[in-house]
Amino acid sequence: MKKHLGVLLIFLSAVFWGTAGLFVVTLSENYGISPLEIILGRAIMTIILLGLFMLFFNRKLFAVNLKDLWLFALVGIVSITFFNYCYYNTMALLNLSVAAVLMYTAPIFVMIISLIFLNEKLTPTKVICCLLAFIGVALVSGIIGNTGNFNLKGLIFGLLTGFGYSLYGILSSILIKKGYSPYTINFYAFVFVAISVLILLSKQLPTTYSLYTVNYKPIIVITLMALINTVIPYIAYSTGLKTVRPTVAIIIATIEPVVAMIIDILRGHTPDVFGYIGIVIILFAVLLLNIKESKTNDSKSEC
């Protein structure tokens, strides 16, 4: 029963993550809020909501070693701010489903970084996954097939989204090894996200403030975004991992770009046949890489 509940929680978290584009499109198209302003609003609301959760359920999660603050800053500034900025721009330049699937190239970037900096071996599986990912990206971006849909700027932002997301995994894993809870990591990371974006928007803060306060609706949207797209799915995913293996969780989580695609279709942005094929190829490459890596790690732990 507990395992079934864990699977359901991970499934729901992936569905909630897949709704990111809906909030971004609503805020940008309906209220003229820029990607950086969306990141700032989401960060502030996430800090408040996640902070309240930690305050009522486990206050010890607030404890950190001051010497580690620079690592939290890296996660927040180098990864989350950069990743979200690229992600939101990809949504605007391409579409929600393509943006979501390009984000899923992150494990490919992790593999490349590991090969270059950690001297990991290049296996046939890794080569195949890289080739599949390259073909998939070419298909979803329009390089292959319907070239009329090709958008170089959107493709660059999309790949940078995957790269930024890969950095999040690498940097946060360092803090996890130091004994920090994922809740603690995200809380302080978003604090640094808010600080960094406040600095970037310092000259236009009055305008940003008015965008959110002249009309109460953007406040409601950004609060729902922080709740539905960040806090609730993260808590659900972390809880689900207590009874579900990471490999299985990764497979379940691939529903996220499918949800983004459904939202795209409902908005009248239907991918062409090449886009569908590309999405399937990229997700297959990511699943193959993650499953292979998980089996390798399991065999090492058994030894």
Q: Are the C-beta atoms of 196 and 202 separated by less than 8 Å?
A: no
In this structure, how many other beta carbons lie within 10 angstroms of the beta carbon of residue 67? 7
pLDDT tens sequence across 135-152 = 888 777 666 665 456 678
Question: What DSSP line would sit under 229-274, residue for residue?
Answer: IIIHHHHHHHHHTTTS-HHHHHHHHTHHHHHHHHHHHHTT----HH
Q: In this model, does residue 303 exceed pLDDT 50?
A: no
State residue 188's pLDDT score: 95
In this structure, how many other beta carbons lie within 10 angstroms of the beta carbon of residue 32? 11
Q: Are the C-beta atoms of 285 and 133 separated by less than 8 Å?
A: yes
In this structure, how many other beta carbons lie within 10 angstroms of the beta carbon of residue 173? 12
Q: How far apart are CA 51 and CA 135, in angstroms?
A: 42
State residue 301's pLDDT score: 45
Q: In this model, does residue 298 exceed pLDDT 60?
A: no
Report the mean per-residue pLDDT for the chain.
Answer: 84
User: Beta-strand (E) ranges in 43-138?
Assistant: none
Q: What is the mean pLDDT of residues 146-166?
A: 81
State residue 47's pLDDT score: 96
Q: What pTM was computed for the model? A: 0.83
Helix axes 106-117, 273-302, angle to 10 degrees: 50
pLDDT tens sequence across 202-214 = 888 888 888 888 8
Site of tokens 């600080």: 195
pLDDT category of residue 102 using cuts at 50, 70 and 90: confident
pLDDT tens sequence across 266-294 = 887 766 777 778 888 888 887 777 776 65
Phi and psi of 269, rounded to 5°? Answer: -110, 80
3-class state of residue 113 by DSSP? helix
pLDDT category of residue 108 using cuts at 50, 70 and 90: confident
Distance of CA 51 to the CA centre of its chain: 20
Q: In this model, does residue 247 exceed pLDDT 80?
A: no
Q: How far apart are CA 303 and CA 301, in angstroms?
A: 5
Least confident interval from 54-68, 164-178, 261-275: 261-275
State residue 235's pLDDT score: 86
State residue 103's pLDDT score: 85
State residue 3's pLDDT score: 64
Q: In this model, does residue 12 exceed pLDDT 80?
A: yes
Q: What is the mean pLDDT of residues 4-12?
A: 86
State residue 148's pLDDT score: 53
What letter does residue 29 receive in the DSSP assignment?
A: I
User: Could you tell me which of 87, 22, 15 has the C-alpha nearest to residue 255?
Assistant: 15
State residue 68's pLDDT score: 94
Question: What DSSP line would sit under 275-293, residue for residue?
Answer: HHHHHHHHHHHHHHHHHHH
The domains of the chain are located at 2-302
269 vs 180, residue with greater confidence: 180
Written as six digits, the tokens of 190 are: 């978003």
271-303 core/surface letters (b: 16 or more CB in 10 A; e: else): beebbebbbebbbebbbbbbebbeeeeeeeeee
